[in-house]
Each structure stands twice: as C-alpha cells, then as structure tokens.
Structure 1
Amino acid sequence: MPDLRAIDLNLLVDLNALLTTRNVTSAARQLNLSQSAMSGSLARLRKLFDDPLLVRNGRKLTPTTRAEALAEPIREILSQVRDVLTDPEAFDPATAHRTFSISASDYATAVLLAPMLRTLSTEAPHITINVRPRSDDVRTLLHDDRVDLAIEPRELMAETALPNAVLFQDRWMCIMDASVRPDPDMPIDVASFLALPHILYSIGPGLQLNHADRHLVNQGLSRRVEVTLESFLLVPLLIRGTELVSLVLERSARLHSLEGLLLVEPPVPVPDINEAMYWNPRHTGDPGHTWLRDKLLSAAAELSATSSEAIVGSPGLRPATA
C-alpha cells in the first residue's frame, strides 16, 4: 500500500485537468500554471502510476486505458474533498443566486413545474431553473451532475440506490377524435383499439417507450404505429381530425381544450404511474437542493389536493370537455 504522506495529492488536481482537457497547455491555463510546470506534473504522474497516461496521437493527446479508468474516480475524490472543506452555507431563497437543472418531460413540466415556477419570481427572484429534456439514461445524467433532479415515473426506474421521493400519481387514458366513436357511450373493445393508427411517446435514440406502451408490448399486443414523438402535450393537437389514438396521462390531456375529442378508458388495464424525483446522493444535505426538493413536494401536494377528485373516480368513457 502506498504511503500517502509521500505523495503530492496536488497531482490529482493536475491529473483531472489533464484528463479533462487532454492538452498540457490548456490544463496549465486552467490551473494558472506554466506549461513547463504542467509538463513536470505529467512526468511525475507517469512515474506514480507507472503508465504513460496520455500518449500523442497526431496533434492530440489520447488517454491510455489506465487513464480512462482513473478519470471518474479522480473526479469523485476531488468532489468529495471540496465538500469536506466547504462549510455548508445557509440558503436564503430571497437572496441566493443559483441555477438548478431539472430533467423532466413536457408533461411533468406543465402539470408540476409550471405551478411551482409561478411562485419563484417573488420568493426566489435570483434563482434560475433550467428544464432539460428527459434522458434514456437517467442514472448517468445524475451521476455526472448534468442535472440536479430528474423527474421520472418510478415504474420505469425500477430498483435504484438513488435517493428519491414520490411526487404525484396519474392514470392512463385513451384519447381520440370524437368522430372515431359516434356513440360515446359504447365502450371501445381491444380489437377496435388495436386496429386504429397509434401515436407512441418515446425518448432517446433508442426510442424508449413510456410505461403504458411498454405494458401493452409486454402483453403481446401489436398495434399499427403511425407517429412517434417525445411530447405528451402535442398528442391532442395531432389527434384532432384524424383516426389516430394514443395513450396519454389524464392530467396532461386536461390541460388542453378538448372539445371534439374523447377521453376513453383503455380497453386493456394499464397501471397508474407514480411520478418521482431522483437526485445524486451527494446533494442530499445541500441546503439549496433541499429547498428545491421541498418546493417540488409542496407543489405536488397542492396538485394532488386540488385535482384528485377530478382524476380518480371519474366515469370511464365520455366526451371530453374544455
């Protein structure tokens, strides 16, 4: 085991800069060092790890396999050291200048974030919220601190060690143009549902399906997919005047004027979703992060209190109203 007292731990800072920039001059500039000093650090690092770490490939420096394996642990170590040496500051939303990033679908943004954001201009005038698109790799998004929070259906996240909290529940409905079902009192059967052209919500280059569509696939039900998109809120606009049908979350559908459309109980039972927020565990004790999570929990509680009666227990097949 190496004796840490004999190692200059500042070399880890230099290594992080070198692996990030992959350029001696840029790394030196980033750390306010001379190029010769950074070259000296690279030489000492090569000796310490008994590996070239960065090798020239044309005009660029390319990390070795060992260097690539070191990159993430080095970042984590330096981040933890900063946390240890930094005293937690009290967070006052009225005076704090800070930016938070939240990964969320347009559905979660419209039904949850929008009501919360309306209160921030007076309560937290210097706070900026960046809403980022959903990712098909939420764990990496949070692990790399590319977002502070990710709002995802708990059913899609499965088992995870990420800290999380449930925000609210919603149920799936079919949406279609009223002309497709001349008799709105006639329940739609499975065969009729599957025969219609469908809109599917999916995300990422792999077209990851939402919870409802994944459930139908797992049931072995085959549909004619005519449109795929990454937006719940656009579905009613695309449905109107067509034979298209889609599974949507009821809260999002009712954000629109739905005159001339139908919301229909799915002919195949689809489990409800539970929207939850997830975060990197290293932010759990951060006062600003805690404030943001509390704001989301409060907005979710208000959402559930004001709309639960309209969402739960409403009739199965009915013309939608504005």
Structure 2
Amino acid sequence: MNLRSVDLNLLVILDALLAEQNVSRAGERLGLTQSATSAALARLRNLFDDPLLTPVGRKMELTAKGEALIPPLREAMAAIEGALSHEQPFDPRTDARTFSISASDYAILILLAPFVRAISTEAPNVTIHLLPRTSDPAGALRMAKADLVIEPKALFPEEDYPSQHLFSDRWLCAVDRHVGGGKRMNKTQFLALPHLIYSIGAERQLNTADMELAEMGIARRIEVTVESFLLAPFLIQGTSLISLVLERATKRLSGLEEISIRELPYQLRPLEEMMYWHPRNTTDPAHRWLRERLLTVAQKLD
C-alpha cells in the first residue's frame, strides 16, 4: 500500500470504528453524520480489502483483520497525538486535557482520591478517567488505553518503561474481632483458619503478598477470592476468614469496628507502588504536569 495514496483522515475514522464497533457511535464520537461515516467505512473496506466490521445478529463485530489492526493503529495514533502535543505548553489553570489512569481500588483510595481533590480547583478543565487495574499494564500503555499505570513494582515485568516510585505500604492481616488471639497472628492460627485473597482477572493474578507466601511454600486454605481489595475487610465480618490488608487502607476505611488488625507471623516485603508511562509521553508538558502533581500528592501521604 502506497501511503501517499491514503487519506490519513480515514485512519482517525478507522480508530473510532474499531473502538465503537458501531457506525452511528463512531460518527457521534467524531462529529460526523452516519452517512459520512458509512461512506468512510466503505472506503476503508476497499483500502484493506476486508469488511473490517460484519453484522452478527443485531450488532456489528470486528473481523480478524479488524482485530489485528487495533494495536498498530492505536500505537500510531498515540505517537502522532504525542508528537503534536509536545509542541504545546500546558497551563492547568486554563487548558483542557483528558487523562486515563489505570489503578487498583486501593491506589485510588490512598493516592488518587486526594489527587482528585487537589486538582479540582487548580485544573478545572482537566478530566481524569480512573480505569480498573489490568493484568496487562504494559499493553495498556503501549496501546494508549491508559496514560499512566499505577502498579506494584513486583507486578510490572517490563523494564523499558519509565517509572517513578510513589509510596510504600506494609502488609497486615485482618480477622473478625471474635477470632481469638493477640496483636500478632501466630503461624499455627494463620495456617489453620480459612483465607480470603485478592486476585485480578480470569487468570486470578495474585497480589504481591500472596505471591511471596506462595514462593515461601506456605500452603493456605483459600475459601474466597475477590477482585476488589477494599471489599476484603467487609467480607470477613462475622466469619473466621483471614485477609491480608495494607496498613494505609485500614486507616482510611470506616465501619470496621468488627475487624481486628493484627501483625503477620511472616516477614513480607513492603508493597512498593510505582507509576509507569510510555516513553512517548515523557516530554509532553501536560503529561509531565500530571506526573509531578501525583508525585507531590504521594509525598504528602505520610
């Protein structure tokens, strides 16, 4: 395909069509009429010699070619947007910008909640989309699904992405207050009681503490798994379940009068929360402001 013969505006429309999988919604997203979007889809089908979108029942689904186009197209679009934005200075008091941040509910509670409060008046035209934590954080950055990923250092395998330490936290355990014991859970009780663990996604990716316990060969009786870290203390109320929790979260959650927080019988590495971003955004003024502002909020947590 000769790039000179391609109307690059079609790629913007293709990006919207692949994302929305609906001609009307793609047109609304771009401010185009349905007929104009349909005409563009026809040109794209001819260009790629593929239907790209096909009707299945009452909806449209992507063809294999359409699916395959998503990663390279998103990367190309993000690179172009990044190159153009690098030329523009950023003033948070007046400029409009939208950022997407992928983070766990724990990171949202501890860091992003005070961050949102901090920028609500100083950056009135900045929109923050908070996305759930993903099991493929590097992919989210690569495909521009997220501008920033806040992730424990131990769970982000890619070394080629820029990063910044935000804060650390230590692991404790939570049990219903009617479960006997002192301020420290002993090993016998820890292994005898059933456990509730936090995991993510269909593959049930474990948190750093559960991974470390598994590496130590400590076999526990897992009775419940949940994707929301913040729900764990509430789910164990009135049961004999144990859940690993983070100290900062226990200080910010109300309604936990029935829960007893105890020291673990094992020495675990602290959780180290990092922010990661794609190299294409490193010098972008708006993105740099976002990272610096998050770091400032993180430094004030203690």
What TM-score bracket applies, with the shorter chain setting the length?
0.7 to 0.9
* Aligned pair partner of 1:242 in 239, 250, 262: 239
Verify the 8 A CA contact 1:173 1:263 in the aligned structure 2.
Answer: yes
2:175 maps to what in 1? 176
1:1-322 map, 5 Å: 7-10=4-7, 13-14=9-10, 17=13, 21=17, 43=46, 45=47, 52-54=49-51, 63=63, 69=68, 72-84=71-83, 88-182=87-181, 184=182, 187-257=184-254, 258-303=256-301, 306=302
Q: Which has the larger radius of gyration?
A: 1
Take 1:298 and 1:210, find their aligned partners in 2: how far apart are those partners? 26
| Other structure's SS at 1:225 match | strand
Q: 1:54 to 1:280 in 2, by over 3 A?
A: same
Verify the 8 A CA contact 1:53 1:64 in the aligned structure 2.
Answer: no
- The count of aligned residue pairs is 291
Verify the 8 A CA contact 2:95 2:125 in the aligned structure 1.
Answer: yes
Q: 1:75 to 1:262 in 2, by over 3 A?
A: closer
Deviation at 1:68, TM superposition (A): 5.7
Question: For residue 200 of structure 1, what is the amino acid of its counterpart?
Answer: I
Take 1:40 and 1:130, find their aligned partners in 2: how far apart are those partners? 33
Verify the 8 A CA contact 1:16 1:74 in the aligned structure 2.
Answer: no
1:320 maps to what in 2? none
Take 1:103 and 1:293, find their aligned partners in 2: how far apart are those partners? 14
Take 1:56 and 1:237, find their aligned partners in 2: how far apart are those partners? 44
Structure 1 residue runs of 4+, over 3 Å off?
12-23, 28-43, 52-65, 67-87, 257-261
Take 2:79 and 2:171, find their aligned partners in 1: how far apart are those partners? 42
| Other structure's SS at 1:234 match | helix
Take 1:153 and 1:220, find their aligned partners in 2: how far apart are those partners? 22
1:317 maps to what in 2? none
Question: For residue 231 of structure 2, what is the amino acid of its counterpart?
Answer: L
Deviation at 1:198, TM superposition (A): 1.0
Verify the 8 A CA contact 1:175 1:262 in the aligned structure 2.
Answer: yes
| Other structure's SS at 2:230 match | coil
Deviation at 1:265, TM superposition (A): 2.0
Deviates more, 1:210-219 or 1:73-82: 73-82
Deviation at 1:232, TM superposition (A): 2.4
CA displacement 1:76-116 (0-9 Å, x = unmatched): 34543454456622211111222222111111111111122
| Other structure's SS at 1:151 match | strand
| Other structure's SS at 2:138 match | helix
TM-score w.r.t. length of structure 2: 0.80
Take 2:124 and 2:13, find their aligned partners in 1: how far apart are those partners? 35
Question: For residue 142 of structure 2, what is the amino acid of its counterpart?
Answer: H
Verify the 8 A CA contact 1:174 1:266 in the aligned structure 2.
Answer: yes
Take 1:56 and 1:281, find their aligned partners in 2: how far apart are those partners? 32
Verify the 8 A CA contact 1:177 1:262 in the aligned structure 2.
Answer: yes
Take 2:52 and 2:295, find their aligned partners in 1: how far apart are those partners? 49
Take 1:40 and 1:226, find their aligned partners in 2: how far apart are those partners? 54
- Unaligned 5+ runs, structure 1: 47-51, 307-322
Deviation at 1:239, TM superposition (A): 2.7
| Other structure's SS at 2:127 match | strand
CA displacement 1:111-131 (0-9 Å, x = unmatched): 111122222222112222221
- Unaligned 5+ runs, structure 2: none
Deviation at 1:63, TM superposition (A): 4.9
Cα RMSD over matched residues?
3.4
CA displacement 1:22-58 (0-9 Å, x = unmatched): 79x88x9778869778756755x46xxxxx3448978
Take 2:232 and 2:150, find their aligned partners in 1: how far apart are those partners? 20
Question: For residue 284 of structure 1, what is the amino acid of its counterpart?
Answer: T
Take 1:260 and 1:42, find their aligned partners in 2: how far apart are those partners? 61
